[in-house]
Amino acid sequence: MNFEFFFNNLPELTITGLAFGAIYALIALGYTMVYGVLQLINFAHSEVFMYGTFAMLWTVMALGGREADGIKLIAIMIAALFAAMLVSALIALVLERVAYRPLIKRDAPRLIALISAIGASFVLAELMGLRDRIAGWLRLDDDLSEYVSGARINNSMAGVIEKPRWDVAGVSISSIDVLVIVAAVGMMVLLDQFVRRSRLGKGIRATAQDPETAALMGVNPTRTIQLTFLIGGLMAGIAAFLYMLKIETTRYDVGFLLGVKAFTAAVLGGIGNLRGALLGGLVLGVAENWGSAIFGTEWRDVIAFVLLVLILLVRPTGLLGESLGKARA
Amino acid sequence: MLLEVEGLCVNYGHIEAIRDISFSVPEGTVTTLIGANGAGKTTTLKTISGLRKVRAGAVRFEGKDITSVEPYDRVKLGIGQSPEGRRCFIGMTVRENLEMGAFTRNDRKSAAYREDMERVLTLFPRLRERIDQISGTMSGGEQQMLAIGRALMSRPRLLLLDEPSMGLAPKLIQQIFTIITEINQQGTTVLLVEQNAAQALKRSHEAHILETGEIVRSGKGADLAVDPAVKAAYLGGDV
């Protein structure tokens, strides 16, 4: 156990942990909102995120991100952000339409929808993993070889952007970490305000609490469910963009661990609770980073899940513990 | 006729909840469905608001067949409901609940909207006092007022009230019924479902008595209130 390293680097470790946590939190929103409205864990949400990372990567590559700098690079990054949001949102909406709506319409038990979710997750991941072959069938491999080859190895955009570090009072801070934290927390605050104050946000909360009575108020449940998937997808797209800025590589199965961590963050904070997702994400990210500094990085995931179990033993409903419907907002 | 229900049959699985029910609600009246637990009163209301699908029969609102219209679209046509058990959004404030009632309206910034809000808060001064309170922390009577007020915020032409007196103290029951009469006099047609037959019959223009899914008697509220058979079955002898 390396406590000396831990205490000497506490500020840096905390900030990096917060950056990871912010990404978990953005993905966790998708789990928690869909759970709030449908009482369903959308296990395929991890793939919504994964497709976002590829949308980001390919947009940067296709627009010549490697050669660009200055204003042009910023423009490319903005385009990549929108591409990631668009693709993730589309995948989320398709999931809702194909994997869930037919089941919900027939009043299928939630367990069936859960199996459908797991199935959809594998299908989406493997479709990305098999993209060489799919491109081959469509005779696209010549035109797109740069993008479709090597599906099962890491795809990297390393070196596209410089990541200056700032020295603040003797603490070295990564500018990307700061950007990630500010952007993620900013989006969460915006979303929180949307759900609290806007008419559609209230419709989501009403449906989460009591779908039948919400329908009596004129809230269309199908549209509301679509809206939550859309929001979850957009947030996952932003998370994918920030993740690629920070980590720079992705592959077809990148969603799995990130998805599990984000789901953990959602449960940690209180599933169905928006602010819980933020808190859970940040707590998880920091705890992981501190823990891996003390015990070694190979303990990272162990720490995350031991923490989850410990907190749930004490607070079975998570840190904030209310659902989307019941939450004071 | 504002509302006509014709030959309505609704099943829960293989169980017939209501069987061949027909009645109508004339514009401007208070019409009441009376019956014991399990007689099918709530099912009838839920079918009118669209939450239950019919096996046979039709629901017509202002002459239009709305049998297959979704519940959330019936609100826009002018059907508002205060459901059984009040069902306030307990995590929301009183104000937010009332705003939910106006969910389908697109004039939420207008004077008409503010007038409607004012009207509800005048009918139920308690709600004004507690406008920013979380509705789940209010008493049953206050939640009942909120449920009725919320339904009124959609400006319904027909207000469906499902057992507004349930679980309330006698004094509060009087008050709720007085307000229902007031709402009706302000021009809203009311379809009321009640177990509290004495109060309901006294205040309704027309009434129908339901037993095990069928209408067994119909008549003017005042007539049924003095009918010996009705008295014996629903009013506990002399009232």
CATH number at residue B206: 3.40.50.300
Whole-number pLDDT of residue A72: 93
Q: Does A166 fall in a domain?
A: no
Burial class of A317 by CB neighbour count within 10 A (0 to 12, 13 to 18, 19+): middle
Residue contact A209–B83, C-beta within 8 A: no
Interface ipTM > 0.95: no
Q: Looking at the structure, tell me whether residues B222 and B208 fall in a common domain.
A: yes
Residue of B nearest to A215 (CA): B72
Which helix (H) or strand (E) is A249 found in, with range?
strand A249-250
Q: Does B169 fall in a domain?
A: no
Residues of B in contact with A213 (CB under 8 A): 83, 87, 89
B53 token code pair? 């699908």
Q: Does A328 fall in a domain?
A: no
Say if B83 is an interface residue toward chain A (CB within 8 Å).
yes
Q: How many helices (H) and strands (E) does chain A have?
A: 15, 4
Say if B100 is an interface residue toward chain A (CB within 8 Å).
yes
Q: Looking at the structure, tell me whether residues B41 and B147 fall in a common domain.
A: no
Of A216, A221, A322, the CB nearest to B81: A216
Indicate which of B49, B72, B108 best probes the interface with A, i.e. most A CBs within 10 Å of its own CB: B72
Q: Looking at the structure, tell me whether residues B140 and B185 fall in a common domain.
A: no
Q: Does B83 fall in a domain?
A: no
Q: B24-66: per-residue pLDDT in tens?
A: 999 999 999 998 888 999 999 999 999 999 999 999 999 999 9
Q: Looking at the structure, tell me whether residues B92 and B147 fall in a common domain.
A: yes
Q: Does B17 fall in a domain?
A: yes
Kindly report the CA angle at A103 between B45 and A111, in degrees rounded to 5?
105
How far away is chain A from the Cα of B156, in angstroms, using its nearest Cα?
A: 11
Burial class of B214 by CB neighbour count within 10 A (0 to 12, 13 to 18, 19+): middle
Residue ranges of B 149-168 with Cβ closer than 8 A to chain A: 150-151, 154
Burial class of B217 by CB neighbour count within 10 A (0 to 12, 13 to 18, 19+): middle
Total structural domains in chain A? Answer: 1
Q: Looking at the structure, tell me whether residues B41 and B6 fall in a common domain.
A: yes
Do residues A55 and A102 make contact, with C-beta atoms less than 8 angstroms apart? no
Say if B53 is an interface residue toward chain A (CB within 8 Å).
no
Whole-number pLDDT of residue A220: 96
CA A138 – CA A141 distance, rounded (Å) = 8
Residue of A nearest to B52 (CA): A212
* Number of CB pairs, chain A paired with chain B, less than 8 A apart: 74
Residue of A nearest to B83 (CA): A213
CA A201 – CA A224 distance, rounded (Å) = 9
Total structural domains in chain B? Answer: 2
Q: Looking at the structure, tell me whether residues B72 and B189 fall in a common domain.
A: yes
Q: Looking at the structure, tell me whether residues B160 and B141 fall in a common domain.
A: no
Ranges of chain A whose pLDDT falls below 50: 327-329
Q: B181: domain range?
A: 1-78+156-164+177-239
Q: Does B99 fall in a domain?
A: yes
Whole-number pLDDT of residue B238: 47
pTM of the model: 0.91
Say if A210 is an interface residue toward chain B (CB within 8 Å).
yes
Q: Does A319 fall in a domain?
A: no
In the DSSP assignment, the letter for residue A203 is H
Residue contact A218–B104, C-beta within 8 A: yes
Of A212, A219, A329, the CB nearest to B103: A219
Residue ranges of B 170-229 with Cβ closer than 8 A to chain A: none
Q: B95-115: per-residue pLDDT in tens?
A: 999 999 999 998 888 999 999
Do residues B20 and B55 make contact, with C-beta atoms less than 8 angstroms apart? no
Burial class of B201 by CB neighbour count within 10 A (0 to 12, 13 to 18, 19+): buried
Q: Other C-beta atoms within 10 Å of A197: how many? A: 11
Whole-number pLDDT of residue A231: 97
Strand partners, A167: A172
Whole-number pLDDT of residue A167: 84
Q: Which of B125, B155, B185 is the last residue of a domain?
A: B155
Residues of B in contact with A202 (CB under 8 A): 92, 96, 99-100, 103
Q: For residue A217, what is the domain's CATH number?
A: 1.10.3470
Whole-number pLDDT of residue A138: 82
How far away is chain A from the Cα of B21, in angstroms, using its nearest Cα?
A: 22
Whole-number pLDDT of residue B236: 64
If you count them, how many residues does chain A have?
329
B181 token code pair? 């009469």
Q: Does B103 fall in a domain?
A: yes
Q: Looking at the structure, tell me whether residues B126 and B22 fall in a common domain.
A: no
Q: Looking at the structure, tell me whether residues B2 and B73 fall in a common domain.
A: yes
Q: Does B96 fall in a domain?
A: yes
Phi, psi of B189 (to 5 degrees): -75, 140
Q: Which of B105, B125, B155 is the last residue of a domain?
A: B155
Of B51, B103, B134, the CB nearest to A203: B103
Q: B206-234: per-residue pLDDT in tens?
A: 999 999 999 999 999 989 988 888 888 87
Whole-number pLDDT of residue A324: 56
Q: Looking at the structure, tell me whether residues B60 and B14 fall in a common domain.
A: yes
- Give me the mean pLDDT over the B153-164 stretch: 96
Q: Looking at the structure, tell me whether residues B149 and B160 fall in a common domain.
A: no
Q: Does A280 fall in a domain?
A: yes
Residue ranges of A 218-277 with Cβ closer than 8 A to chain B: 218-221
Q: A129: domain range?
A: 3-150+172-314
Residues of A in contact with B108 (CB under 8 A): 199
- Give me the mean pLDDT over the B191-203 stretch: 91
Q: Looking at the structure, tell me whether residues B71 and B131 fall in a common domain.
A: no
Q: Which of B120, B155, B190 is the last residue of a domain?
A: B155
Strand partners, B23: B5
Residues of A in contact with B154 (CB under 8 A): 217-218
Indicate which of B12, B89, B108, B161 best probes the interface with A, i.e. most A CBs within 10 Å of its own CB: B89
Residue of A nearest to B91 (CA): A326
